[in-house]
Amino acid sequence: MLIPRPETEHVVEVALERMGHHRPPRPAASGAGLRIADVGTGSGCLAVALAVEFPGATVVATDVSAKALDVARRNAARHGVANRIEFHECNLLDPFLHSPARRSLGDGGPLARPPKPWRRRVTPLPAEASEKAGHSPLLFDLIVSNPPYVAREEEHALPREVREHEPHAALFGGEKGRELYAPLIRQAAALLRSGGTLVCEIGYNALGRVRPLLDDEAVWNCVGVTNDLAGIPRVLAAERV
């Protein structure tokens, strides 16, 4: 959606917690060398917030809508972070699955962050072994997303101001509203560093369908769910093995 909702703030909060971020940022937590992707950026609220929180990071923001990206660019400029956000008109992270796109991001190192007791340490695979496994090495440290997750079959239940004024591409995630999660999670598995984090917002009653997509223990661990203020499961996060 182009109109940010309070629930989306939880995505930023979970991302900061997962990355061991502290306010105010300590020098080691400024995000130097950190690479972040915001998939389906819409108004750019996630990309802008994370660029502000991690002043040393490079952020990639993608969206299928050129108009949404124009809004996101203006918001980034308004907050003084436009020079650190790369905007790409594309589906999910499709262009970054190929080597030329990977090379364009350079060879910066991961964010130095303190270990957490619940975080299982993982030794990164050598680049050649990672490539053979279908995992693009050393790309993103953090992928966040608030994808469209309203079901087409529930369109009639939306408030009129949302149904008639919000771009439908930003609202509907397929007939059931869950269709984008499987390809998003597959791409995150391929594009996150070992130890990198995926954080995504999920729709009402979607947990039972989306959570099993992270059940492969050879790919994901430290899977967690965060409820919104109404007690509804709203944010799903996991770490790339």
pTM score above 0.95: no
Which segments within 66-149 are labelled E, that is strand?
Answer: 85-89, 140-145
Where do runs of H (alpha helix) occur along 54-109?
66-78, 99-103
Give the pLDDT confidence of 69-115 residue by residue, as tens digits.
999 999 999 999 999 999 999 999 999 987 454 544 443 333 323 33
Give the pLDDT confidence of 104-115 residue by residue, as tens digits.
444 333 332 333
Give the pLDDT confidence of 208-236 residue by residue, as tens digits.
989 999 999 999 999 999 999 899 999 99
Domains and CATH numbers, the chain: 6-240 (3.40.50.150)
Q: Which helix (H) or strand (E) holds 37?
A: strand 35-39
Residues above pLDDT 70, as percent of the chain: 65
Contact 201, 173 (CB under 8 A): no
Name which of 45-59, 126-140, 198-212 the model is least confident about: 126-140
Contact 45, 8 (CB under 8 A): yes
Q: Which residue has the higher pLDDT, 70 or 152?
A: 70
42 conformational bin, left if phi > 0, alpha if psi -120 to 50, beta if neither? left
User: Can you read off the two tokens belonging to residue 179?
Assistant: 């269709």
Question: Which amino acid makes up residue 165?
Answer: H
Does residue 164 carry a pLDDT above 70?
no
Note the pLDDT of residue 86.
Answer: 96
Q: Which DSSP string do the residues of 199-232 spell out, in sequence order?
A: EEE--TT-HHHHGGGG--TTTEEEEEEEE-TTS-
Which distant-in-sequence residues (6+ apart) come within 8 Å of 146 by Cβ?
A: 1, 8, 11, 40, 42, 46, 200, 201
Contact 3, 166 (CB under 8 A): yes
Give the other-Cβ count within 10 Å of 73's Cβ.
Answer: 16
What average pLDDT does the structure give for the chain? Answer: 77
Contact 11, 144 (CB under 8 A): yes
